[in-house]
């Protein structure tokens, strides 16, 4: 709604509501007063009419009483009824005629005998009529009464009076007077004080309980004894009057349906209801003109107020409209606009502020446009750069895609199984070779843990402890973890088949964090078979070689006992042959031991052993060798160790190899220290020498089969490179560990540990030689 209209509306509201309220109250008051006046007037009329009816009735009764108590009439009637004769009849009739002539309004006087038969009458035609069924007869037998309205043969309204004729306490007849109804109708046809529409109605309740009109009405002269208002018309006062109610009815209708105001009265003696009424139109006519006047005043006030309020609103709203229009144009971007309102009020001030603001806005807008232009050109440059970098990214993506295709081709065609996991060891990549080797479908295992899907077991089917599993080792050390053909690592398939594998688990480290593991593995069943066959061959051939070699050894020994005829040179040669034979026997024994260890045929029979004593035995055995090189040995035992359940032969072999190596690779006159102590539930032994040491680059291979370091070969050309391999196999199969520290030219210390719990017994076919 526009502000102008709002203002007009508000002014109208403020002025007109009280005005209309006042008009309404004034009109209601006037109407109430008028109603009160009309009601009291109607009540007065009704009361007057009622007393008139009562007076007329009382008068008629007085006259009736005069007749019924007249001794003459009683006597004549009594004798006539007892013995009728024309003379007496004429006498009575004469008497009654006198009455009709004397009393105005009495039209006919008759006497009925107790059976209801008219015996005497001023109208001879009535004699002989049976009136026993009429009310006036029945009532007249006991009391003097004004009984009922009737119509005579001319249609004129009559009022019947009747009363008993009692002689000597016996009712000898009933006196019946047919009176002229005008004494009553003259009362109802009196309209004084009732205006043009008002009237008085006289009604009674008929046999059906409806209201029966007794007198002519102002608008229906034929109403007497014919107009009836049925009892269900409760809005018509006649029904209430006939019912004996004395009430005021403000909003009712009359027998013609005209809206009226009415007052009712009741005369119980005659059961007559009186209605005094006037039409509403006439009753309210005095305030109709007042209403019109008030309406005229209202319309006039509305028009004037409308005019004034419109002018006032216009004065207030036109600067605001101007301001709004100005703001709208500015809002649309026209900053050249200025407003001029030359008033000294708040709106004038507001227009000045507006002009100032728009000027500032114009300036800052210009500045903004300049900045936008600069930014736009900068953006264009950026956009170009962005486009270039997008192209570069696309080409990188192409390269990446290319690499990806290459990587996928590699992964698909590579012979090794490849399984990549995330840092939680959940599988994310599986290549076809891995699926083939492990008998899996990659879609079934994506997202599952590698350790659960393919358990890593040893050759007996025992699950490898967590810390020794390649994938876990790679995660904990953050370094690649590899196994070789000699390590017993098997992947156990779903069907229970164990696949020997050589594997490499490499962590993928990004920004110092492991983001996954790449597990590359190879089925080494074939290699294992070849190795086994090799071991079997070595075992067989060593075994076969031992017998002839032993025979040769004995032959040489026998030969050497009798060397008298040999030259010195021949004796030297014989000694060499003997030494070589001994070395060959030693080599063959070593090979045999290795093949026995590798094939798992070696038996382990643990017994409680004092390892310090065992080490001393080994030292004693090698005393001669040490003495030859002038080497001294120191036993360093710091702890008191319990006896340990160990296979003596195997542990003896370990000490012998380590001490013997220390002697072989130490210079003459040096010192060896053999220490035994306990640590973390293990017995730890170390053999320390001050010998040639092991070159740094060759350290990783020192426990490999047949491996000999380059410097060792110079010092001792005849070594086999099998001793440490055997030692490692024995220590690890006993649940222990072996390691060393070495510096070239300074010396070497070999350590091995054995759990104090000892070895587990194992039934086998052979022992070490």
Q: Are 194 and 174 in contact (CB under 8 A)?
A: no
Between β-strands 607-609 and 644-646, what pairing exists: parallel, antiparallel or unpaired? antiparallel
The least distance separating ligand ADP from the CB of residue 750, rounded to whole angstroms, comes to 7
Stretch that binds ligand ADP, among 240-248, 367-375, 397-405, 688-696 (CB under 6 A): 688-696
692 counts as binding ligand ADP under rule CB under 6 A: yes
**Helix, strand, or coil (residue 755):** strand
From the list 55-63, 305-313, 402-410, 722-730, the region that binds ligand ADP by CB under 6 A is 722-730
**719 φ/ψ angles, rounded to the nearest 5 degrees:** -70, 160
Total residues contacting ligand ADP by CB under 6 A comes to 21
- Binder to ligand ADP among 662, 672, 738, 754 (CB under 6 A)? 662
708 binds ligand ADP (CB under 6 A): yes
DSSP 8-state symbol, 389:
H
Say whether residue 619 binds ligand ADP (CB under 6 A): no
Q: Which of 661, 688, 734, 753 binds ligand ADP (CB under 6 A)?
A: 661
CA distances from 181 to 146, 178, 215, 222 (A): 11, 9, 9, 14
Q: Which is nearer to ligand ADP, 218 or 705 (CB)?
A: 705
Q: Does 626 sit near ligand ADP (CB under 6 A)?
A: no
Task: Tokens for 482, please give them.
Answer: 């590899």
DSSP string, 104-140: TTEEEEEEE-TTSBEEEESSGGGTT-B-TTSHHHHHH
- Which of 188, 664 has the CB closer to ligand ADP? 664
Instruction: Please tell me whether residue 695 binds ligand ADP under the rule CB under 6 A.
Output: no
Which among 135, 179, 188 has a CA at the least distance from the CA of 157? 179
Residues 6+ apart with CB under 8 A from 423: 475, 513, 514, 515, 516, 517
Among 105, 455, 721, 755, binds ligand ADP (CB under 6 A): 721
724 binds ligand ADP (CB under 6 A): yes
Query: Is the Cβ of residue 321 or residue 733 nearer to ligand ADP in the bound state?
Result: 733
Which CB sits closer to ligand ADP, 277 or 708? 708
Give the DSSP H or E segment for 526. helix 525-561
Comparing CB distances to ligand ADP, the nearer of 360 and 699 is 699
Q: Does the footprint of ligand ADP cover residue 722 (CB under 6 A)?
A: yes
For residue 655, state whether it binds ligand ADP (rule: CB under 6 A): no
Please report how close the Cβ of residue 500 comes to ligand ADP at its closest, in angstroms.
25
Partner residues linked to 431 by β-bridges: none
Rounded Cα distance between 340 and 325, Å, is 12
Q: Which is nearer to ligand ADP, 489 or 725 (CB)?
A: 725
| Residue reference for tokens 């091995």 | 752
In the complex, least distance from residue 635 CB atom to ligand ADP, rounded to whole angstroms: 17
Nearer to ligand ADP, 216 or 693 (CB): 693
Smallest Cα–Cα separation from 641: which of 670, 669, 608?
Answer: 608
Nearest approach, Cβ of 468 to ligand ADP (angstroms)? 25
Query: Considering Cα of 664, then 666, then 671, then 674, what sign does the dihedral take?
Result: negative
- Please say which residue, 471 or 730, places its beta carbon nearer to ligand ADP: 730
Residue 768 is a binding residue for ligand ADP (CB under 6 A): no
Own/partner contacts of 755-758, CB < 8 Å, gap of 24 or more, are 755/681, 755/682, 756/641, 756/642, 756/644, 756/678, 756/681, 756/682, 756/683, 757/644, 757/645, 757/681, 758/606, 758/644, 758/645, 758/646
Per rule CB under 6 A, is residue 719 in the interface with ligand ADP?
Answer: yes
SS3 281: helix
Name the residue nearer to ligand ADP (CB basis): 184 or 597.
597
Cβ-based nearer residue to ligand ADP, 67 or 694: 694
Of residues 532 and 716, the one with the C-beta less far from ligand ADP: 716
- Piece of the chain touching ligand ADP by CB under 6 A; list 117-125, 220-228, 660-668, 754-762: 660-668
Q: How far, in whole angstroms, is CA 294 from its chain's centroid?
A: 64
Q: Rounded to an integer, what distance in angstroms lies between the CA atom of residue 725 and that of residue 707?
A: 9
Whether the CB-CB separation of 358 and 340 falls below 8 Å is answered with: no
Residue among 144, 351, 653, 748 that touches ligand ADP (CB under 6 A): 748
Q: What tokens appear for 263 in the block?
A: 């007052």
Instruction: Look at the block and give the residue holding tokens 């009020």.
Output: 345
> Is residue 7 involved in binding ligand ADP (CB under 6 A)?
no
Confirm or reject binding of residue 702 to ligand ADP (CB under 6 A).
yes
Q: Cβ closer to ligand ADP: 104 or 717?
A: 717
Shortest reach from residue 422's CB to ligand ADP, in Å: 42
CA proximity to 321, closest of 676, 7, 699, 708 = 7
Asked if 659 is part of the footprint of ligand ADP (rule: CB under 6 A), the reply reads: no
CB atoms within 10 A of CB 400: 12
CB burial of 679-705 (b: ≥16 within 10 Å; e: otherwise) equals eeebbbbbbbbbbbbbeeebeeebbeb
720: contact with ligand ADP by CB under 6 A: yes
691 binding ligand ADP? (CB under 6 A): yes
According to the binding rule CB under 6 A, does residue 663 interact with ligand ADP?
Answer: no
Give the interface segment with ligand ADP, choosing from 108-116, 167-175, 464-472, 721-729 (CB under 6 A). Answer: 721-729
Residue 305 vs 769, nearer CB to ligand ADP:
769
Q: What are phi and psi of 699, to 5 degrees?
A: -55, -40
Query: Which residue, 498 or 708, has its beta carbon nearer to ligand ADP?
Result: 708
Integer CA distances (angstroms), 451 to 322, 377, 501, in order = 84, 60, 15
The one segment of 173-181, 215-223, 469-477, 654-662 that binds ligand ADP by CB under 6 A: 654-662
Distance CA 4, CA 178 (A): 85
Q: Which region, judged by CB under 6 A, interacts with ligand ADP, from 6-14, 450-458, 554-562, 701-709?
A: 701-709
CB of 594 to ligand ADP, least distance (A): 11
- To which residue do tokens 């028009």 refer? 303
* Interface mask toward ligand ADP for 139-178; x: CB under 6 A: ----------------------------------------
Binding part of the chain for ligand ADP, among 267-275, 310-318, 719-727, 755-763 by CB under 6 A, reads 719-727
Q: Rule CB under 6 A: is residue 665 a binding residue for ligand ADP?
A: yes
CB of 671 to ligand ADP, least distance (A): 13
| Nearest distance from C-beta of residue 757 to ligand ADP, angstroms | 28
Bridge-based pairing state of the strands 747-755 and 737-743: antiparallel
In the complex, the smallest distance separating the C-beta of residue 689 from ligand ADP, rounded to whole angstroms, is: 5
- In the β-sheet with 747-755, what is the strand arrangement from edge to edge? 632-637, 671-679, 682-688, 747-755, 737-743
Q: How far apart are CA 688 and CA 686, in angstroms?
A: 6
In the window 363-392, what residues touch ligand ADP (CB under 6 A)?
none
Strands of the sheet containing 248-253, edge to edge, are 228-229, 211-213, 199-205, 272-279, 259-267, 248-253
User: Which one of residues 242, 602, 712, 730 is an interface residue with ligand ADP (CB under 6 A)?
Assistant: 712
Q: Is 618 in the site for ligand ADP (CB under 6 A)?
A: no
* Nearest distance from C-beta of residue 702 to ligand ADP, angstroms: 5
* Beta carbon of residue 590, minimum distance to ligand ADP (angstroms, whole number): 8
Which positions touch ligand ADP (CB under 6 A)? 657, 661-662, 665, 689, 691-694, 702, 708-709, 712, 719-725, 748
């Amino acid at each position: 709604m526009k502000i102008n209209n709002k203002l007009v509306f508000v002014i109208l509201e403020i002025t007109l509501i009280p005005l209309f309220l006042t008009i309404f109250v004034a009109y209601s008051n006037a109407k109430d007063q008028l109603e009160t006046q009309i009601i009291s007037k109607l009540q007065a009329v009704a009361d007057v009419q009622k007393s008139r009816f009562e007076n007329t009735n009382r008068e008629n009764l007085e006259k009736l009483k005069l007749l019924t108590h007249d001794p003459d009439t009683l006597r004549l009637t009594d004798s006539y009824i007892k013995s009728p004769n024309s003379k007496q009849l004429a006498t009575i009739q004469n008497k009654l005629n006198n009455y009709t002539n004397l009393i105005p309004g009495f039209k006919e006087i008759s006497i009925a005998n107790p059976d209801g038969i008219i015996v005497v009458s001023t109208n001879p035609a009535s004699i002989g009529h049976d009136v026993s069924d009429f009310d006036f007869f029945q009532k007249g037998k006991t009391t003097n009464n004004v009984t009922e309205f009737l119509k005579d043969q001319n249609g004129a309204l009559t009022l019947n009076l009747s009363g008993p004729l009692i002689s000597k306490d016996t009712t000898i007849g009933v006196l019946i007077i047919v009176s002229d109804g005008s004494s009553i109708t003259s009362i109802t046809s009196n309209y004084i004080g009732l205006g043009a529409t008002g009237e008085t109605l006289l009604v009674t309740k008929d046999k059906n309980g409806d209201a029966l009109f007794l007198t002519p009405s102002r608008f229906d002269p034929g109403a007497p004894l014919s107009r009836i208002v049925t009892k269900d018309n409760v809005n018509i006062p006649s029904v209430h009057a006939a019912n004996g109610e004395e009430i005021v009815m403000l909003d009712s209708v009359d027998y013609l349906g005209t809206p009226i105001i009415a007052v009712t009265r009741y005369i119980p003696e005659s059961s007559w209801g009186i209605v005094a009424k006037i039409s509403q139109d006439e009753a309210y006519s005095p305030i109709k003109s007042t209403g019109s006047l008030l309406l005229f005043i209202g319309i006039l006030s509305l028009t004037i107020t409308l005019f004034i309020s419109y002018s006032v609103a216009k004065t207030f709203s036109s600067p605001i409209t101007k301001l709004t229009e100005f703001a709208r144009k500015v809002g649309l971007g026209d900053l050249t606009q200025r407003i001029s309102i030359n008033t000294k009020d708040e709106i004038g001030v507001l227009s000045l502020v507006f002009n100032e603001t728009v000027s500032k806005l114009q300036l800052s807008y210009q500045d903004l446009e300049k900045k936008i232009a600069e930014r736009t050109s900068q953006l264009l440059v950026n956009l170009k750069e962005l486009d270039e970098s997008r192209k570069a990214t696309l080409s990188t993506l192409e390269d990446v895609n290319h690499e990806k295709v290459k990587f996928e081709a590699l992964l698909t065609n590579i012979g090794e199984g490849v399984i990549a996991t995330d840092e939680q060891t959940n599988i994310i990549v599986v290549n076809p070779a891995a699926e083939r080797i492990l008998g899996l479908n990659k879609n079934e295992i994506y997202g599952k843990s590698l350790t659960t899907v393919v358990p890593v077991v040893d050759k007996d089917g025992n699950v490898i402890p967590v810390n020794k599993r390649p994938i876990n080792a790679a995660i904990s050390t953050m370094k690649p973890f590899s196994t070789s053909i000699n390590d017993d690592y098997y992947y156990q398939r779903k069907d229970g088949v164990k696949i020997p594998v050589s594997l490499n688990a490499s962590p993928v480290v990004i920004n110092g964090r492991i983001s996954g593991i790449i597990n590359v593995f190879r089925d080494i069943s074939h290699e294992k078979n070849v190795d086994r066959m090799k071991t079997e061959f070595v075992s067989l051939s060593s075994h076969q070689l031992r017998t002839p070699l032993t025979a040769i050894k004995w032959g040489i020994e026998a030969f050497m006992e009798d060397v008298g005829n040999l030259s010195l040179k021949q004796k030297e040669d014989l000694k060499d042959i003997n030494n070589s034979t001994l070395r060959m026997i030693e080599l063959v024994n070593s090979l045999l031991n290795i093949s026995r260890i590798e094939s798992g045929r070696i038996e382990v029979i643990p017994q409680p052993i004092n390892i310090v004593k065992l080490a001393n035995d080994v030292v004693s055995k090698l005393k001669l060798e040490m003495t030859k090189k002038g080497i001294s040995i120191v036993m360093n035992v710091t702890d008191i160790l319990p006896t340990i359940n160990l296979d003596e032969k195997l542990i003896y072999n370990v000490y012998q190899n380590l001490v013997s190596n220390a002697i072989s690779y130490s210079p003459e006159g040096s010192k060896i220290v053999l220490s035994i102590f306990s640590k973390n539930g293990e017995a730890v032994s170390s053999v320390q020498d001050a010998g040639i040491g092991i070159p740094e680059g060759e350290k990783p291979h020192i426990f490999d089969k047949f491996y000999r370091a380059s410097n060792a070969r110079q010092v001792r050309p005849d070594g086999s490179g099998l001793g440490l391999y055997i030692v490692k196999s024995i220590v690890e199969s006993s649940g222990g560990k072996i390691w060393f520290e070495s510096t070239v030219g300074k010396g070497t210390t070999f350590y091995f540990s054995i759990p104090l719990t000892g070895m587990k017994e194992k039934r086998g076919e052979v022992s070490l030689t």
